[in-house]
Each structure stands twice: as C-alpha cells, then as structure tokens.
Amino acid sequence: MSGIFGFINFDGTPIDRSILERMKDRVTPLGPDEQNLYIHENVGFGHTLSRILNESAREHQPLVWDEVVITAYARLDDRSGLISALKSAGRDVHSDDPDVDLILHAYFVWGRQCVAHLSGDFVFAIWDGRQQQFFAARDQMGTHPFNYAFVENTLIFSNEMMAIRQHPAVSMKLDEYAIADFLLFGGFFWFDRRLTIFSDIRMLEAAHQLTADHGSVQTERYWQLPYDEPMLRYRTEQEYADHFLDLFKITLKDRARTDRVVVSMSGGLDSTSIAAMLSQLVQQGEITTQVSAVVGEVLAHSRVDIVCLDRETTLGKESRVDPRSRAEVEQRCARRSNAQHELSEGRACPAIRGHRGDLPYVLRACGRSAQVLEFRIGHCGGQHVGAAAVWAVDGTRRHMK
C-alpha cells in the first residue's frame, strides 16, 4: 500500500517542513518507490508511492491541478465505466490514467458527490484552494484506514496513525473508552467506531466523507448498504452459479492490473478459487498477468508449493509436491485420527484421503500433469485440514461434497 499524510493550518500559519518530513519517514515503508511533498503556505501534503498497478508507472503524487491538490491510496474498480462517465462530462481522460487522476477528474466534475461514482479500495484527501476547503473520503467497505486529528485549528491526517503523532500538537493521551472497548470486545467497534487508542486521533468510518474549513470538521455517510432492494430471484441453482461466476470474473480482472499476481494459498475455498479462475482468465487471454500461487502451513508446517500459472504453463505442469511433506501430512493425520489413508494418484494428482466418522477429508495438490487444483473441507482429529476444491483449470465447475 502507499502512504498518504499531511496537515492544514487553518489559522494561516506556514507549514513547518520538518514536521512533514517526520510524517513522511513514518509512512515511507508503505511507499518505498517514490516520496514527495507539497507545501504551499498553510497547506502541506505528502505521499509515499508503492508502484503495484500497471497505471502507477505514470503516477506522481501529490497531484496538483488548478489550485486543487490530492494525495490518495486507491485501486478503483470498474475503471471503464468511470472513464466513460468522465468523457461524457467533457473530461480528457485515457484508459491508462492512474487511479488518482480519475478521482481528481471526478472531483472536478461532481465535487463532493464524486464518491457516488467511485468503487474499489480507496482513501484520499483533497485540498481545494479555490474554496479553501479540505475534503476526504474512505471507500464503502473501509478497506484502508483514514485517521485524522483536529487540534489547535490544525487538521492532521494520514492512513498511518503513527504519522499523525509526529505533529507536536497531537498529545499522547490515551482514550480510556477505546481501551475499555478493546479489552472487552477485542476491537474499537462497539462503543464508537471512530475511536482510536489516542484521544486526539479519530478514524473516518467506512463509507464516510469528511469536510473541514476554518474552525469546523464534519463527517457524513455517503453510502448505505441497500437493504430495501428486491431480492434477486432465479429459477434454477445454475443461474445463481452463472451470475456469481460472471461477478467473480469481473472482480478478479479489476484486481489483476499488474504484471504479476501471487496468490497466498491457505488451502481454503476462497484462495483456491481465485488461483484457478485467474489461471483460466490468463489462458483465455482476458488478462496478461503472470499468476503464481504458493501454498504453505498445511497441517502444522507441512508445505505444498504450487507455482507458475501463466499463458504457456498449465496449473499442474510445474507444480510439485515434496514427498517428505506429503509423508509428514500422512503421519500427522494418522496420529491425530487413527484413520486409514489412501495415497491416490487420480489424474496424476496425489491425494491423502481419510474419514473422521462420516466426514471425509482430502488433501490434494497437483502433480506434474494434473489439470485440477483441489482442496476439500474436512477435519482430521478435530483439526481443520484443508478446504474445498471448486474449479478445474479450464473453468468448469466441479461438484463439491
């Protein structure tokens, strides 16, 4: 992720660059590729960039257009729809524009209502010098944090809380309510979702926007989960599955805008589905991303590695299973459940199978010529073993038991 930070002195005091530099040092690990500051009179913005997306090769922040400056960490979904809407509004936008450029275009077209046209993962802050107003927003799901403090007529913000503490006006006083909430419930969610452990620092809630000018800060919700929309009804289960599959593909394509994707394989339903579907999208030419999947920590450090999913290499071709790890898994299962195990090559895909009562379990990893990535949900001696296989590499759905 990238780092965003800055502060505005609403009393007109010039920015102390040394404070901004200290804030930058705290968030540089979030953005090692490029670090920049913007200082103009009483406004100081900063950004540390991690070049992950294809479009980020042309990205430079903070971005300044016509007295409006923005710093953002964003990965937008449905870029084509947003670009089409911006072009219809008369903006000169291009398909390879960085996400931060599209957000600023949207702000120039729709003002603070721009968030209604954005989807994806984002936090951003804008200073509009024309109106002398600060504006910030956090995405609908609250994927990334946005922290702020308003003390002594100064607004300090960042997506890294410790950066805000670099400002001398921010005290180290703890928030007792937040600490109590943490000790009682394990998180700052029950008493007040805006709380942080420090009394001066607040969290902007998911799907909220913030505006600030001389002497005041206001937050408001800009999006609400549409509970009142009619339920989607299909006649058959297959229609539900097809609809989900379409949305699943769109979601993955939105997130594969990079040269390489590595899927961390837990052995669960989600990660295995993602890896197999990405492989299908590559093979069909819908994305050009090189996809790698790595599986680790299966049954107490037994390792199975699955690597190199790309256009020329099928999922199983360069996959490998360490025989020692497979033997270790078998031994652990035997010790835990006293089950009878069968090592089957089925389609050159070695599997360890067993039963715990009526509940079957299978630990499967692709062999050299295998075309199926499969893990099934099960338990072994009361321990969670793996997950469920869902897709063959060609994208066909498999029956799950």
Confirm if 247 and 276 have CB atoms less than 8 A apart: no
Q: What is the largest CA-CA distance in the chain?
A: 76
Residue 336 has pLDDT above 80, yes or no: no
| DSSP bridge pairs for 71 | 125
Q: Distance between the two ends of the chain, CA-based, in angstroms?
A: 38
The larger pLDDT score, comparing residue 114 to residue 352, is at: 114
What's the confidence (pLDDT) of residue 232? 85
Residue matched to tokens 């090692």: 32
Rounded mean pLDDT of 5-18?
A: 97
Taking the C-alpha atoms of residue 309 and residue 278, their distance in angstroms, rounded to an integer, is: 8
Amino acid at 268: G
Q: What is the pLDDT of the chain when averaged over all its residues?
A: 77
Measured distance CA(187)–CA(164) in Å, rounded: 20
Whether residue 32 is predicted with pLDDT greater than 70 in this model: the reply is: yes
Note the pLDDT of residue 331: 53
- Of 58 and 316, more confident: 58
Return the pLDDT at 57. Answer: 87
Which of the two residues, 332 and 268, has the higher pLDDT score? 268
Q: Could you read off the pLDDT of 317-333 as tens digits, one per residue?
A: 333 334 444 455 445 44
Single pTM value for the model? 0.74
CB contact set of 337 (below 8 Å; sequence gap of 6+): 354, 356, 380, 381
Q: Where are the domains of the chain?
A: 3-221, 237-386
**Which CATH fold topology does 3-221 show?**
Glutamine Phosphoribosylpyrophosphate, subunit 1, domain 1 (3.60.20)
pLDDT band with cut points at 50, 70 and 90 for residue 190: low
The per-residue pLDDT for 266 is 74
How high is the pLDDT of residue 156? Answer: 98
What pLDDT is recorded for position 311?
A: 27
For residues 118 and 122, give the distance between their C-alpha atoms in angstroms, rounded to a whole number.
Answer: 9
Q: What percentage of residues in the chain have a pLDDT greater than 70?
A: 72
pLDDT digits (tens, 9 = 90+) for 201-215: 999 999 999 999 987
Q: What is the pLDDT of residue 397?
A: 34
Q: Where is pLDDT greater, at 35 or 262?
A: 35
- pLDDT over threshold 50, residue 374: no
Task: Name which of 115, 76, 49 is nearest 253 in CA terms.
Answer: 76
Residues 348-366: what's their mean pLDDT? 39
The pLDDT, as a whole number, for residue 245 is 92
CA distance 161 to 27: 10
Is 78 a residue whose pLDDT tops 50?
yes
* pLDDT tens digit sequence for 242-258: 999 999 999 999 989 98
User: Is residue 146 pLDDT above 50, yes or no?
Assistant: yes
81: left (phi over 0), alpha (psi -120 to 50) or beta: alpha
- At 325 the pLDDT is 45
Q: Which residue has the tokens 């980020």?
A: 56
Q: What is the mean pLDDT of residues 14-33?
A: 96
Sign of the Cα pseudo-torsion (326, 327, 329, 334, in order): positive
Residues 353, 361 contacting (CB under 8 angstroms): yes
More confident position, 359 or 292 = 292
Taking residues 183-198, what's their average pLDDT? 75
For the segment 292-312, the average pLDDT, to the nearest whole number, is 39
Mean pLDDT across 350-357: 42
Mean pLDDT of 65-70: 96
